[in-house]
Structure formats: structure tokens, C-alpha cells
Amino acid sequence: MGKVTGFVEFERDAAPYRDVEQRMLDYDEIYVAHDPSRLATQSARCMDCGVPFCQSEEGCPVYNLIPEWNDLVYRGHWKEALERLHSTNNFPEFTGRVCPAPCEGACVLGVTNPAVTIKNIEMAIVDKGFEEGWIVAEPPKIRSGKTVAVVGSGPSGLASAAQLNRAGHQVTVYERADRIGGLMMYGIPNMKLSKKVVERRVQLLRDEGIIFKVNANVGNGENGGFHIQQLVDTFDAVVLTTGATIPRDLPIPGRGLSGIHFAMDFLTQNTRSFLDSEHADGKFISAKGKNVIVIGGGDTGTDCVATSIRHGCKSLVNFEILDTPPAVRAANNPWPTWPKIFRIDYGHQEASQVFGKDPRTYCISGKEFQGTAGKLSGIVTQEVSWANGKLEILPGTEKHWPAELILLSMGFLGPDHTTTDPLKLDYDDRSNYQANNYQTSIEGVFAAGDCRRGQSLVVRAIHEGRQAADSVSAYLRS
């Protein structure tokens, strides 16, 4: 806990983002510099709640010791706070930036008052650790003689690799893209998570002895790739962390028109081009001068909104099929569950600044894409209503919206099976890799993250990677 009476004395004061007008002009991170005075005050609000739900499964899937490092920050013991933070979380610089903070939704103070600014404090602790030089490579002193291949370098793969390497095993990570990081590298735009932050952590892992192979497509071995069976035969264990990469489509009339793209293709190409040439190569899907519609809410939809604004789009609308969320928790959404309430994220702020209103339109569904000569010109929608959880189309509510670019951001269905089909791996009824205690139906082959449990949060991916590493180490010992 922080100060005994802190939660009574001080109001919540979350760190703001950079000025909207300024940040829309660049791809730098949206966050302001950390204010030690604000952080000390905010950490003082952490109360002696008895049972800290913030670090429970509901609040923090990696079980961060939140009250402990809140208290240490309040007392000015930053290095000790960093040690507590790293004891449960390999990459707090990732989660402190992109996790939606279910810990704050489960904060006991949040029952009657605004929650503690846990996410701000977490990010500040790890950033100070890097600034002070406290975070350095720590290669294992003893090697086990065992080898492990990790397929996929997203948060789950990196967490698994880090834990296995720490246990003394020799780890090789295979990544099909040209840079390490998976979702952290290409699925989240630079202004939300600087790629320098990702590369800094990857270099630490490399210095600790992990081997990284990029442009390494693992599957049936075609086109110069690696056959998955080759890895199974060569390594003592294999960990699959390939993510949930099959996007949900919108198969309505006109889907084949050019100008309709999946959100992840849009974001990936944008980031790769930015890193390669600051967009000088033109190898990205541009929203400049176009009427843009983003279909689907969530963090990815917000990232598409913010990226389109930076391109210089002509107009922007964000469709959401669900009802407008309430301002406060509904009766069927009690604490400490994640509060399903109306929020304004950084992309919504920017769209409101540019176009004068929030970009989101609720209770709307696409009916038909329209275009001429194979090119998209718009979409026809219809309004919907929800009763007892059932969707109903409202007749006579059709409306045409002009659009030269439509981005589909409706989540993911499951993992791509290209990597695993050659093994004849068992899948569950949602097409995920079936794994008991993280071990799949093939001995010595493990799975973790979104490919095993389905699309979820980065913090859960890290936890899955850590747990899978424990399972692998137990297997290798036996």
C-alpha cells in the first residue's frame, strides 16, 4: 500500500497524452515524460485493501505485485520496485504501454472512487530502470545442454524464450517476418509502442544468449522455409507461439472490390514502410485524401483511426455493431470484472480534433460494398438493435456511405495452420492448437499464447509464454 490516507486525500490524476495537435503530425510515442511528483502522489492512493484484486487473475493475468511496487514508488525505492515488477513480468515496457489495464478495472478503490493509475506507474518504473542503467543482460551462468526452438516472436514467444534461456536451455527463435517482435513490432503502430522499445528488449535477450532467426518461415519446408518436422527432430523441445492470425472477414456482396483491407495488413505495411524509409518507399496502404471507414472497434480499430489521420485522410468513420457502452458499469457488469464502459482513446481524441466529432457510429452493420470498375466507392449499411443479446436488423434503415478505403478490424478466428498441419497436430473446436499443460498432441511440442487460448491480451500472452516455459523445463528434466 502507499500512504494510509492517500486514497482519501488525493484524486486520480492519470498522466495525459501529448498535445493532440502536435502528436498527429508525427509517429513518435503519444506519452508525455514521466512526472515523479505525480507518480508519488498517485502511488500513495494505493490503499490497504486486504485482498488486492488488481493482482488476481481477473485483474492481472501475470499476477504483478502491484501493491508492493506502488508502495515502493511512493517511498522512492524505484530500483526495488523494478525488481518486484520484473519478478512476474518479462516485458513491463510493453504492457505499460499497450495493455488495457484490467488491473485498474479490478482495483478495490475503484468500487467507490476512480482507480489507482496502475498502468502509468508500471510504465514509469521500467522506463526509469532503463534510464538509470539498472536493466542489463543477465545470461545464465550454467547451461543445461538442452535445446529449444520457439516458433513465433510475439509477446508469448519472447516470454517463453526468455524464461527457457534463464533456465539454462539454448533457445532459438524463428520468426517469419523480417523483424523480431510479432504483434509488438508490426501489429501496433509506432506512436503507441515505439519499435526502439521493442528492439531494445530484443537486444537484451540476444545478449543473454537467445538466437533469433528472421525471414524463417516454418511449415512444410517449401520456398526455402523450415519444415516443422525438422525442428522437432533437431531440438529437444519445440514451442509454438504463432498467434491468432486469421482475421474475421465480412463476406457481403462486393467484398472483392479493391480498397477493402484487413486492419492488420494496413498496420503492418504502414509500420514496415515507416521503419524502412519513413514511408518514402510508398510500400503501404495509404489513406491520404480518402474517405476511410474502419469496421470494428477495439484497440486495433483505434490504431487504424490514428494511422489514417496521420496519413491525411479526407474523412473517417468507425462502425461498431454493438450498442453504445454505458458511462458507468451496468448491473450485469459488476466489479471486479472488466468495466464495459464508454471510453475515449487516443485515436478518438485525434479524430474529434480533426473532424469535429467522435468517429464512432454504433448499432450499424454492413450490407453491401459498392464500387465501379472493380474499385471501392462506398458501403451500404443498415441499423441493428439488440434485445436479450440477440441481433435484429431494422428494415428501412439502409444508408450509403462514401469510402475509397475500408479497413476490417473485427478480431481473429484462430491460428494459421500452415505451420502445424505437417505434424497432424490436434486442434480444438475453435481451431486453436489443443494443448494439455501446454503440451500438444505431439510429444515434445508445446503451444502458448493466442494460438492455444484464442485472441486475448498481451499480458495473457506473456503469462502463457512463462507457463509454457515451466512446462517445457519440467519435460526436459524428465
CB 300 within 8 A of CB 271: no
**Residue at grid coordinates 499476477:** 63
| Predicted local distance difference test score (pLDDT) of residue 469 | 98
Q: What is the pLDDT of residue 1?
A: 67
Give me the domains of the chain, ranges plus CATH numbers. Answer: 6-131 (1.10.1060.10), 147-245+413-477 (3.50.50.60), 249-410 (3.50.50.60)
Residue owning grid cell 475515449: 344
Name the CA dihedral angle for 104, 105, 108, 110, rounded to a multiple of 10 degrees: 90
On the question of pLDDT at 356 being above 80, the answer is yes
Indicate if the pLDDT at residue 441 is higher than 70. Answer: yes
Residues 193/183, Cβ–Cβ less than 8 Å:
no
Residue 354: per-residue pLDDT: 98
What are the φ/ψ torsions at residue 141 (nearest 5 degrees)?
Answer: -80, -25
pLDDT class of 36 with cuts at 50, 70, 90:
very high
Q: Sorting pLDDT into bands at 50, 70 and 90, what band is 362?
A: very high
Q: Taking residues 236-253, report their average pLDDT.
A: 98
pLDDT greater than 80 at residue 115: yes
Q: Which percentage of the chain shows pLDDT scores above 70?
A: 100
Least reliable range by pLDDT among 1-5, 77-81, 301-305, 418-422 = 1-5
Confidence (pTM): 0.96
Q: Is 75 exposed, middle or buried (0-12, 13-18, 19+ CB in 10 A)?
A: middle
Section 253-265 average pLDDT: 98
Average pLDDT over residues 109-113: 94
**Average confidence score pLDDT of the chain:** 97
pLDDT band at residue 22, thresholds of 50, 70 and 90? very high
pLDDT recorded at residue 3: 85
